[in-house]
Amino acid sequence: MRHTLPIAPQFYVTAPQTCPYLEGRMERKLFTALQGEGAQRLNDSLSKQGFRRSQNVLYRPSCADCAACLSARINVADFKPSKGQKRVRRRNAGLERRATSPWATEEQFALFRRYLLSRHATGGMADMDAFEFAAMIEETPIRTRVVEYSDRETKDLIAVCLTDILDDGVSMVYSFYEPDRPSASLGTYIILDHVEIAREAGLPYVYLGYWVPGSDKMGYKSAFSGLEVYSGGEWRTLGDPSEYDNRLHPLSNDPIAEQVADISLPDGQPLRPKRG
């Protein structure tokens, strides 16, 4: 099914499928292709409107009667690490960071497979082979880096994050890490280090993907101070996470055509046609 107005880019909606975050729910995504000379500007613009990148596609949730998924980002200026997060930094002081071009390696893939088998053995990515992994890393039409974390002494690869560079921040597209170091809290450490990466680059935000209240998989993001969520067409400070719920409601989302019409393109103009 396609919903679009006579202006590029064109937007489409997926068929409903089982939600990976909340039991008993169905998910649906609004998406558009990310390609051509304007890909970077389009990604910059739509990331500010709750979209995420997967290879050469931009998408955001557009479920019929659920609005639980909220795009989340850390405001770097407002971030202050908790005592627990400071301990995570100290536990990982022996790691060194290296940012490279988006090129897949055998060492990365081996780490990726160990991570999936330990953490997401029944997930949608569990059957990815080396070619699909390479496509995930390398098929990007925008400024992307692979951020690697290695043990300073052994030089073993410990963690990896596929990271997009936006005009107002860094976007953590996908991360994976050594599952045999559970006490290291590597997932938390990667986020903390990306706050430092953004600060070093003078960028105000770290985009984390979606925060989903009620989801054990996605709830951890609310532990970071300075968190903002995209709700009601604007970014707002998260505040008290308990004030958000994931109850179903038939009026949670506007019709697809209205959602598309309210999207602003890189030139600042909405897709909605002028009236009068």
Kindly report, as residue ranges, where domains of CATH 3.40.630.30 are found in the chain: 74-239
| pLDDT tens per residue across all 276 residues of the chain | 555 444 568 999 999 999 888 888 889 999 999 988 899 999 999 999 999 999 999 999 988 888 888 999 999 999 999 999 999 999 999 999 999 999 999 999 999 999 998 876 566 677 889 999 999 999 999 999 999 999 999 999 999 999 999 999 999 999 999 999 989 999 999 999 999 999 999 999 999 999 988 887 777 899 999 999 998 889 999 988 888 877 666 556 777 888 888 888 887 655 554 333
Cβ contacts of 140 within 8 Å, gap of 6 or more: 53, 55, 56, 102, 164
pLDDT at 217: 76
Quick check: 93 and 189 in contact, CB under 8 A?
no
pLDDT at 121: 58
Predicted TM-score of the model (pTM): 0.89
Tell me how crowded residue 42 is: count the other CB atoms within 10 A of its CB.
Answer: 22
Strand partners, 199: none
According to CATH, the topology of domain 74-239 is Aminopeptidase (3.40.630)
pLDDT at 269: 55
DSSP code at position 14: P
Structure token digits, residue 233:
């067409």
Burial letters 55-94, b for 16+ CB under 10 A, else e: eebbbbbbbeebbbbbbbbbbbeebeeeeebeebeebbee
Cβ contacts of 215 within 8 Å, gap of 6 or more: 21, 22, 68, 246
Cα end-to-end span (Å), the chain: 29
Burial letters 137-175, b for 16+ CB under 10 A, else e: beebbbebbbbbbbeeeeeebbbbbbbbbbeebbbbbeb
Spatial distance between the Cα atoms of 100 and 196, rounded to a whole number of angstroms: 17
- 3-state helix vs strand vs coil in the chain, percent to 5: 30, 30, 45
pLDDT at 249: 64
Cβ contacts of 249 within 8 Å, gap of 6 or more: 65, 66, 67
